Structure formats: structure tokens, C-alpha cells
């Protein structure tokens, strides 16, 4: 059974960089899947942040204006999210997930709340 689990700090200060890690169990990040990050603010819709393909090709949401980067670590079977210059508007529940191009997002982590506050 494939499982994804997010880890990282629950609080980040404004202007700092948010870093989260997703650990994959039951499958290899070298499988031909996309490994992505999403977030959800209270009462608001889901937002895609970016994804990395098993080839390490990355795709990012243009609305984040270059603040986001995603890395694949095949040695640890993990992938990570870095979001720079955070502000209060980046407070959200962050999810890691796996997906293909045309079949939706079929596996999600449980989510982790990150609060941006001084």
C-alpha cells in the first residue's frame, strides 16, 4: 500500500523559506509518476504549487512567481517543497500527492498545517 507523509515545521516566520518533505512508502519515487505539492487555505479552494516527474523535470504554478522549488531525492525516496519569502497568505494546509497527467490526483498525504507568523 502506497502512502505519503508530509513533515516539516508547523510555523515559519514572514520572509523566511518554508521547507516541507514528503516521504513515500510502498512505492519508489523513481516510478513514472508525478510527485506534487498542493495547499488549501481555510474555507478556500485547493491550489497546485508544483510537481516533479520521476525524471526530475519540474513544473510550477506561475502564480507563485518563482518562489517555489521542488526536489526529488531518490536515495531517501522523498521529495521536498521550498517556498521562499513567505507571508501570512501562505498559511495553509500543505499536501503532498502523486498523480499522472490525465487521471487526477489519486493519492494524497494527510496534510500538514503551516502557519506563517512572527
Among the listed residues 16, 54, 77, 108, the single contact to another protein using CB under 8 A: 108
C-alpha cell of residue 111: 496534510
Decide: 35 and 57 in contact? Cβ < 8 Å: no
The 10 Å Cβ neighbour count of residue 98 is 22
Query: Whole-angstrom Cα distance, residue 45 to residue 117?
Result: 22
Residues 69-98 that bind another protein (CB under 8 A): 95, 97
The contact mask relative to another protein for 26-45 (x = CB under 8 A, - = no) is ------------------xx
Sign of the four-CA dihedral 36, 98, 18, 77: negative
CB of 103 to another protein, least distance (A): 5
* Residue 1 binds to another protein (criterion: CB under 8 A): no
Question: What residues line the site for another protein (CB under 8 A)?
Answer: 44-48, 51, 59-62, 95, 97, 101-106, 108-111
Amino acid at each position: 500500500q502506497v502512502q505519503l507523509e508530509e513533515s516539516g515545521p508547523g510555523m515559519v516566520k514572514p520572509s523566511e523559506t518554508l521547507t516541507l518533505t514528503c516521504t513515500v512508502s510502498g512505492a519508489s519515487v523513481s516510478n513514472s509518476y508525478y510527485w506534487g505539492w498542493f495547499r488549501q487555505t481555510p474555507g478556500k479552494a485547493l491550489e497546485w504549487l508544483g510537481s516533479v516527474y520521476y525524471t526530475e523535470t519540474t513544473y510550477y504554478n506561475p502564480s507563485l512567481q518563482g518562489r517555489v522549488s521542488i526536489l526529488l531525492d531518490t536515495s531517501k525516496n522523498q521529495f521536498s517543497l521550498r517556498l521562499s519569502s513567505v507571508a501570512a497568505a501562505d498559511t495553509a494546509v500543505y499536501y503532498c500527492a502523486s498523480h499522472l497527467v490525465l487521471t487526477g490526483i489519486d493519492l494524497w498525504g494527510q496534510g500538514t498545517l503551516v502557519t506563517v507568523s512572527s
